[in-house]
């Protein structure tokens, strides 16, 4: 690892494997970076890892294993301290590690709040009480979010000063060189990612008859894990129109699915941000999404995709049909999305903005932050 950089950063995450590796790689061009990431999440993406990153894998215990979690906390604190970082950058937080945050001492803490609030029906997210995440958010000297609407959540609900919150777009995911032999399949609509009630899959299913009436050969691909899909299958008016992949999808299969798609749909009922949109743009696919959370920050209506109101199956159907019936418009939007993700949302662009946040945290080091997020009194 290159030890010549003045700034030393520990980048710690219990989730977001590909995201963390790509950003750590970019940060390592201008800082000494120790990446601490569960081996389970890192393994599929190790071929991406830059040798300049000091990678420190660990085994992520189950949440219901308190002794293993405490041992992991001790291990991670030891790996942080031995690196002697100037900044610790934590992704979102963790049910058990958040209780170790006071042991970081005076080292400035930066947290990327991927989801400032839990989503409707997200049973995975519900395993960590909201107050545990809030404890971490308040301790952080600086916070990063992936969309402007998320700033007000932290300001209004937690009282965190607006000047401590920074908006950095979700950076690129996926490999545009993967599966080059796979061609687009006409009139294929892709719904990809974890499946929970807030993702609005039921809205897409209800919109299907209106889409099929105008595009008779349309095909819907639903890929991802989450809740039991039985209730969704019962809702389908034409189940033969749907291909359901209810399991973990490898990076190679993900690339094939996005290449086959004519467009990608995100009918979310609520959202903070989405890692699906950067993947769609990587493969030059237009996006139909709802006007919730940070999605409008990434989807430029009429340029990289179309935006519709949430819970409105007719508007969703109209937008999907409009793009399916206009291949040239789809191609143009897909190319604009690819340009956007490679310029505004590249890992290098995100790293430059993240380094500025680190410098801000270091500049405020003389004013320690308490667990309630307020400057301590002299």
> What's the mean pLDDT in 332-352?
93
- Predicted pLDDT of residue 373: 47
Which SS3 state, helix, strand or coil, does residue 341 take?
helix
More confident residue, 148 or 319: 319
8-171+346-363 and 188-343 have identical folds: yes
CATH 2.40.50.140 for domain 8-171+346-363: no
Backbone CA torsion sign across 154, 160, 161, 167 = negative
DSSP 128: S
Residue 205's CB: how many other CB atoms inside 10 A?
24
Distance spanning both ends of the chain, measured CA to CA = 40
Q: How far is CA 52 from the centre of its chain?
A: 24
More confident residue, 147 or 306: 306
Q: Is 153 exposed, middle or buried (0-12, 13-18, 19+ CB in 10 A)?
A: buried
* Confidence at 127, pLDDT banded by 50, 70, 90: confident
Sheet harboring 188-192: ordered strands across? 242-245, 219-223, 188-192, 263-266, 287-290, 305-308
pLDDT digit string, tens, across residues 208-240: 999 999 999 999 999 988 888 889 999 999 999
* Confidence at 374, pLDDT banded by 50, 70, 90: very low
- Predicted pLDDT of residue 2: 44
* Confidence at 4, pLDDT banded by 50, 70, 90: low
More confident residue, 271 or 144: 144
- Predicted pLDDT of residue 173: 87
353 pLDDT above the threshold of 70: yes
DSSP 7: -
- CATH class (in words) of the domain with range 188-343: alpha beta
DSSP 268: -
What the block records as the tokens of 250 is: 């490898």
- Predicted pLDDT of residue 293: 86
Backbone CA torsion sign across 148, 154, 157, 161 = negative
- Predicted pLDDT of residue 294: 84
Least confident segment among 91-105, 110-124, 273-287, 320-334: 110-124
- Predicted pLDDT of residue 210: 98
Largest CA distance in the chain: 71
pLDDT digit string, tens, across residues 58-116: 999 998 899 999 999 999 999 999 999 999 999 999 999 999 999 999 999 999 999 88
274 pLDDT above the threshold of 90: no
- Predicted pLDDT of residue 228: 84
What the block records as the tokens of 203 is: 């809205």
- CA-CA distance, 119 to 291, in Å (whole number)? 16
pTM of the model: 0.82
- Predicted pLDDT of residue 119: 55
> Minimal CA–CA distance to 287: which of 338, 215, 231?
338
Contact between 117 and 244 under an 8 Å Cβ cutoff? The reply is: no
**Look-up: residue for tokens 């349309």?**
218
- Predicted pLDDT of residue 370: 47
15 pLDDT above the threshold of 50: yes
308 pLDDT above the threshold of 90: yes
List, in sequence order, the alpha helices (H) in the chain.
17-27, 39-42, 66-83, 130-139, 149-158, 201-214, 230-235, 251-260, 276-282, 295-298, 313-324, 327-343, 347-363
Which SS3 state, helix, strand or coil, does residue 376 take?
coil
371 pLDDT above the threshold of 80: no
- Predicted pLDDT of residue 375: 43
Least confident segment among 18-27, 133-142, 169-178, 218-227: 169-178
Sheet harboring 87-91: ordered strands across? 54-58, 32-38, 8-12, 87-91, 109-112, 142-145, 165-167
- CA-CA distance, 306 to 320, in Å (whole number)? 9
Average pLDDT, the chain: 91
Long-range contacts of the stretch 130-133 (C-beta < 8 A, 24+): 132/93, 132/95, 132/98, 132/99, 133/92, 133/93, 133/98
More confident residue, 173 or 36: 36
Residues with Cβ within 8 Å of 139's Cβ and at least 6 positions away in sequence, in order, are 101, 102, 109, 111, 369, 370, 371, 373
- Domains of the chain, by residue range, sit at 8-171+346-363, 188-343
What the block records as the tokens of 244 is: 């359901």
> Minimal CA–CA distance to 49: which of 80, 29, 25, 73?
25
> What's the mean pLDDT in 14-30?
96
- Predicted pLDDT of residue 123: 53
Between β-strands 109-112 and 87-91, what pairing exists: parallel, antiparallel or unpaired? parallel
> What's the mean pLDDT in 135-160?
92
């Amino acid at each position: 690892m290159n030890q010549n950089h003045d700034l030393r950063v520990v980048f710690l995450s219990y989730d977001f494997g590909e995201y963390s590796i790509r950003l750590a790689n970019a940060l390592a061009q201008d800082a000494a970076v120790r990446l601490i990431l569960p081996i389970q999440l890192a393994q599929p993406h190790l071929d991406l890892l830059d040798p300049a990153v000091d990678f420190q894998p660990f085994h992520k215990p189950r949440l219901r294993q308190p002794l293993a979690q405490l041992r992991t906390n001790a291990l991670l604190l030891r790996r942080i301290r031995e690196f002697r970082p100037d900044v610790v950058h934590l992704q979102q937080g963790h049910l058990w590690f958040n209780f170790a945050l006071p042991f970081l001492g005076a080292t400035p803490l930066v947290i990327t709040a991927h989801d400032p609030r839990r989503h409707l029906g997200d049973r995975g997210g519900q395993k960590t009480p909201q107050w545990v995440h809030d404890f971490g958010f308040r301790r952080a000297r600086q916070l990063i979010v992936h969309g402007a609407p998320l700033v007000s959540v932290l300001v209004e609900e937690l009282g965190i000063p607006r000047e401590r919150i920074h908006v950095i777009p979700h950076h690129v995911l996926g490999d545009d060189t993967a599966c080059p032999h796979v061609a687009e399949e006409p009139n294929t609509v892709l719904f990809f990612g974890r499946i929970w009630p807030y993702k609005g899959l039921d809205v897409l299913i209800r919109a299907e008859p209106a889409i099929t009436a105008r595009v008779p050969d349309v095909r819907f691909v639903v890929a991802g894990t989450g809740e039991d899909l039985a209730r969704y299958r019962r809702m389908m008016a034409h189940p033969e129109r749907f291909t359901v992949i209810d399991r973990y999808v490898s990076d190679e299969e993900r690339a094939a699915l996005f290449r086959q798609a004519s467009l990608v749909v995100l009918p979310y009922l609520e959202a903070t941000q989405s890692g699906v949109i950067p993947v769609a743009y990587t493969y030059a696919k237009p996006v139909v999404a709802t006007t919730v959370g940070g999605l409008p920050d990434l989807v430029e209506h009429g340029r990289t995709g179309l935006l519709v109101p949430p819970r409105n199956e007719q508007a969703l159907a109209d937008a999907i049909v409009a793009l399916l019936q206009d291949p040239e418009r789809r191609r143009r939007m897909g190319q604009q999305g690819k340009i956007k993700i490679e310029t505004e949302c590249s890992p290098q662009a995100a790293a430059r903005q993240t380094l500025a946040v680190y410098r801000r945290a270091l500049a405020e080091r003389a004013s320690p932050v308490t667990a309630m997020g307020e400057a301590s009194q002299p």
